Structure 1
Amino acid sequence: MTSNPPVKADINLAQLLEAKSLERCPFPIPTGWYFVDYSENLKPGELRNVQLFDQEWVLFRTEGGKPGMTDPYCPHLGAHMGHGGKVCGEALRCPFHHWEYNTEGWCTSIPYGKVMPPITKKQAVLRALPMEERYGLIFAWYHPTCAEPTWQLPSIPALEDEGWTGSRRGSWTANTAIQEIAENGVDTAHLKFLHNAPGIPPVKAEFHDHIMDLDIGNGYIVGRAYGPGLNVLEFTQNGVSATMISYTQPITPELSQMNMCFRSKAYPEGSMEQAVAKKIIDHMIGAAEGEESAGFESVDFIVWNNKKYRPRPLLCDGDGPVLQFRKWFKQFYDADASTLAKV
């Protein structure tokens, strides 16, 4: 039995023509804690320019060891403090007239002025991001309108407790928004068809405040996301676990830098457990020896780098909680209703 094709009046043209108006990344930079650099890479007294959150910043460390990250242009006459500026004690000094600013953006010195501008006694005059240094990593809190942090960085036993090992790190550039990368966590159907996994693992996701908890494959992958910029995922096979800590940076709305480190319990040298832990980590990234399925490095980028965002996706009963994830992620955008409507 065959059905007659629908007459033209029954066709949903909006569905068919939507692709012409789709955007690759219709999102602003989301609010959250983000990795800036490894602690070891920023020495006391050092200053350099960095590109993050769709603008340039000056990253520095005071002589006392405190990290700072500010807008590059001096509030006085607009000199770029990342070109000729200097760290002096606990302050960033402008090269033009030697005005100085602390890591919170307060003006602390005008060497030739007898009367400080009144605003300098009331508030910071240079935008400075809140900074935290944990796990050997430097994090900055980003909010588009300078709101203070609404949550703190968590404890991560794999990076802070005794009995863990592993120095493997990786960094990859993805030509897409940070939300698109994070959405992979709830889209388990793609694991079979893109990664060649033997099946589609079940996924449970719970969302509360800035946290998303994931259980993929009934305990095979158990993870927690702390806002957009920090994820901790534990993979378990044969009673052996390895942990991936992911801390992606939004460089621009359409460019993300994926950063990861990999840790496992300090199993005995040469043991079966040590070999399994290594294989798990190999699999997280690419294709592990003896396996047909592939990690993200092998296959995900060709999709991320070329896809467009569907704000009204067609979903079926086999898809994961994509819409629930998007609703949770929406809280990290501080934007007007017209922008959020696209998300």
Structure 2
Amino acid sequence: MLYPNGWFAVCLSSSLKPGRLRTVAFMGNELLVYRTRSGRVRVIEPHCPHLGAHFGYGGKVDGENLVCPFHGLVFGPNGVCIGAGRSRTPPRAKLDEWLVQERAGAVLVWRHNKGKAPDWEVPDSNMAGFSAAQEACFELKGYSYYGPENTADATHFMQVHHLTDVAMSHEIRQHQMEVNLTASWFGWQIKVRMINYGVGCAYAESELPAWGLFMKSYSFGTPIAPLKWTYTLLDSTHVRWLDALPRVLRWPPQALVGALMHWLTVKEIRKDFRIWNHRRHVNDPKLMQGEMHIAAFRRWMMQFYLRD
């Protein structure tokens, strides 16, 4: 399959402090990610347009500018070369920059194989009252659509994650596919609302009403090389019965519950990893009765793999 179009996470915001340069793998190539002194994030092709030096090996962020390690060329906030070492006259050069946004604790870049501008974005969610986000990132084998496809796979929730009384519905809105699920977990009712924003991002709201637990999570699937991808997870938890406590007493137990729920979430997702790492893409899957949500997902996701 081709690499998909859309918004994709290249790193976590927490890993990119001002002045930090990061080289990241992305769809068979490399990108350079950095944050300027003012906090602006930029994503560029990693090689200097002068003589091809790699900014990630000796380059530096100087305030709002990026400095090449080879000849000291200085590139300003707009990517244009504005200076050179040894008081030389700078060449007419400009960095190749990617469109970038920060959402939900991640740095996202827009990718389209025809160079089309984005006509949608990944929204943030209001995390007021929720625990600090717990983060995890894993490198996996196979295709990055495996993650969002799981949101539409009712049977796997029963077989792999041992949920019972699973009921599912879905709704498609252009670049979004929303899946709503109700089920029982060890006899407790759970409700999950999942929204896929393209095939690079999935947002979920999970509720365990009897316990007063509410979790918001983002997961990002990013192809980094042929049959390799990263799965990044951020989740935060709110415990409704703690709302009656003063704020100073509320946060320690909420943080503890958030850490526990994150551990449980990762524990469950690792069960999927064992399968994803050894799957292969089937062009014409022989679906079973009741798997209409998977069929709908497959039809919907193809828009992100089209060449036009």
TM interval, short-chain normalised: 0.7 to 0.9
Q: 2:151 matched to 1:174?
A: no
Of residues 31, 34, 48, the one that matches 1:74 is 48
Query: Equivalent residue for 1:186?
Result: 152
Q: Secondary structure at the match of 1:178?
A: coil
Alpha-carbon contact 1:104-1:128 (below 8 Å) kept: no
Q: 2:113 matched to 1:141?
A: no
Of residues 226, 233, 238, the one that matches 1:260 is 233
CA spacing shift, 1:43–1:302, aligned 2, 3 Å: closer
Q: 2:173 matched to 1:208?
A: yes
CA spacing shift, 1:88–1:276, aligned 2, 3 Å: closer
Alpha-carbon contact 1:86-1:92 (below 8 Å) kept: yes
Query: Equivalent residue for 2:99?
Result: 130
Query: Equivalent residue for 2:65?
Result: 91
Q: 2:222 matched to 1:249?
A: yes
Q: Secondary structure at the match of 2:199?
A: coil
1:211 Cα shift?
0.9
Give me the whole-angstrom Cα distance separating, in 2, the residues matched to 1:150 and 1:98.
38
Of residues 34, 58, 66, the one that matches 2:32 is 58
Q: Secondary structure at the match of 2:149?
A: helix
Q: Secondary structure at the match of 1:35?
A: strand
User: How many residues are treated as equivalent by the alignment?
Assistant: 289
Give me the whole-angstrom Cα distance separating, in 1, the residues matched to 2:3 and 2:140.
15
1:214 Cα shift?
0.7
1:266 Cα shift?
4.6
Q: Secondary structure at the match of 2:237?
A: strand
Alpha-carbon contact 2:114-2:307 (below 8 Å) kept: no
For structure 1, the residue ranges without an aligned partner over 5 or more in a row are 1-26, 287-294, 337-343
RMSD: 2.9
Give me the whole-angstrom Cα distance separating, in 2, the residues matched to 1:171 and 1:300.
14
Alpha-carbon contact 2:134-2:262 (below 8 Å) kept: no
Alpha-carbon contact 1:189-1:320 (below 8 Å) kept: no
Larger Rg: 1
- Which contiguous aligned blocks of 4+ residues in structure 1 show a shift greater than 4 angstroms? 273-283
1:176 Cα shift?
1.6
Of residues 284, 302, 308, the one that matches 1:330 is 302
CA spacing shift, 1:92–1:144, aligned 2, 3 Å: farther
Query: Equivalent residue for 2:265?
Result: 284
Give me the whole-angstrom Cα distance separating, in 1, the residues matched to 2:156 and 2:104.
32
CA spacing shift, 1:257–1:103, aligned 2, 3 Å: farther
CA spacing shift, 1:39–1:181, aligned 2, 3 Å: closer
Give me the whole-angstrom Cα distance separating, in 1, the residues matched to 2:209 and 2:258.
10
The percentage of counterpart residues that share the same residue type is 28
Query: Equivalent residue for 2:162?
Result: 196
CA spacing shift, 1:335–1:105, aligned 2, 3 Å: farther
For structure 2, the residue ranges without an aligned partner over 5 or more in a row are 184-189
Query: Equivalent residue for 1:113?
Result: 89
Deviations 1:204-233 (A, max 9, x none): 111112111111127721111222222111
Alpha-carbon contact 2:131-2:258 (below 8 Å) kept: no
Give me the whole-angstrom Cα distance separating, in 2, the residues matched to 1:282 and 1:85.
38
Q: Secondary structure at the match of 2:97?
A: coil
Give me the whole-angstrom Cα distance separating, in 1, the residues matched to 2:206 and 2:156.
18
1:175 Cα shift?
0.8
Give me the whole-angstrom Cα distance separating, in 2, the residues matched to 1:320 and 1:194.
19
1:250 aligned partner, one-letter code: P
CA spacing shift, 1:77–1:264, aligned 2, 3 Å: same
Give me the whole-angstrom Cα distance separating, in 2, the residues matched to 1:167 and 1:324.
31
1:331 Cα shift?
1.6
1:93 Cα shift?
2.1
Q: Secondary structure at the match of 2:280?
A: coil
Query: Equivalent residue for 2:197?
Result: 226
Give me the whole-angstrom Cα distance separating, in 2, the residues matched to 1:31 and 1:235.
28
1:256 Cα shift?
1.6
1:278 Cα shift?
7.3
Alpha-carbon contact 1:205-1:212 (below 8 Å) kept: yes
2:102 aligned partner, one-letter code: E
Query: Equivalent residue for 2:186?
Result: none
